[in-house]
Amino acid sequence: MEILMLGTAAAEAWPAPFCLCDACEKARKLGGKNIRTRPGALIDDDLKIDFGPDTVVQLIREGRHLRNLKTILFTHQHSDHFVPSELLWAKFPFTRTEPPAGSIELWGNRFVHEGIRDEFAKKQQHKLDYVMKEFAPGDHFTTAAGDEVWAMPADHVEGASVLRIRRKGKTIFWGHDSGIYPAATLDRLSDGIALDAALFDCTYGSERGGKGHLGFETVVEMAGELRNRKAITDRTKLVATHFSHGGKWMHDELVDRFKPHGIDVAYDGMIINV
Ligand SMILES: [Zn+2]
Ligand SMILES: [Zn+2]
Ligand SMILES: [Zn+2]
């Protein structure tokens, strides 16, 4: 399985549009892996995690398309992960080759579903022909494409989930957005399934974090907790992502801090092979 990290920033991106803090100014000057767009990933070429405001530009940047998309999994309804108006582009006349919308499953919580329904209700000429699938934190389901998903409660916003996804015999943990994982989530992750990859929310960077989002210290703690519970083994790829300029550390500083803990630092365009 190939995980293409399309965006690795928190909500306002990094550099943030209105911000002249040191971290934003440094990112503007240094560029490269310090430039982070809003979060989301493409797995192989048919599974999309979230669909944020930068998705179209990210696909252009990577030379990729969504023609083969079968499933979108929405972690939650925040606008860095979910922009319902962008879902229109799968439909004629915005796509001129056979539109795939009718065969794409949209999995999200009830707020995501309400947002999509409201958006399509405003645009009456466009029928909502996606396959709408609702889930709630705690649910376990299999998509039409065959991905097995455990949605687990996040410490974030009402209805938010972190996801364990099993695809083609590999299992990954999509751990953002969330602060310290609730007990039910840690218990679910202790059921004996070893992870091939685990991704963590590191919004707070140099700050401790823990409430709503994690930071460096709490990412290391959560990775340790999942190791104790045997979800993480020596074979698990560990990746921190979803960084805010408020966390201050630039990409190279993050790499230096996380290295002793065996955790990689995500950047836009990173490919994780599991
Ligand atoms: Zn977010
Ligand atoms: Zn800033
Ligand atoms: Zn969020």
- 11 Cα to the center of ligand 1, angstroms: 5
Query: Do residues 48 and 14 touch, judged by C-beta distance below 8 A?
Result: no
Ligand closest in space to the Cα of 77:
3
Ligand closest in space to the Cα of 15:
2
CATH tag for 2-11+20-268 (out of 3.20.20.70, 3.20.20.100, 3.20.20.110, 3.60.15.10): 3.60.15.10
- The one-letter code for the residue type at 257 is R
Distance set, CA 77 to CA 38, 102, 161 (Å): 14, 22, 10
Burial class for 146, CB neighbours closer than 10 Å (0-12, 13-18, 19+): exposed
Ligand closest in space to the Cα of 76:
3
Distance set, CA 151 to CA 107, 138, 186, 242, 255 (Å): 11, 5, 12, 19, 29
- 218 Cα to the center of ligand 1, angstroms: 17
User: Which residues are placed with Cβ below 5 angstroms of ligand 3, an ion?
Assistant: 78, 177
- 98 Cα to the center of ligand 2, angstroms: 42
- 39 Cα to the center of ligand 2, angstroms: 17
- The one-letter code for the residue type at 47 is L
From first to last of the 274 residues of the chain, give the pLDDT tens digit: 999 999 999 999 999 999 999 999 999 999 999 999 999 999 999 999 999 999 999 999 999 999 999 999 999 999 999 999 999 898 888 888 876 667 899 999 999 999 999 998 887 777 778 899 999 999 999 999 999 999 999 999 999 999 999 999 999 999 999 999 999 999 999 999 999 999 999 999 999 999 999 999 999 999 999 999 999 999 999 999 999 999 999 999 999 999 999 999 999 999 999 9
Query: Do residues 157 and 201 touch, judged by C-beta distance below 8 A?
Result: no
Residue 142, CB half-sphere, CA atoms under 13 Å: how many?
5
pTM exceeding 0.95? yes
Question: Is the backbone peptide bond immediately before 99 cis, with ω within 30 degrees of 0?
Answer: no
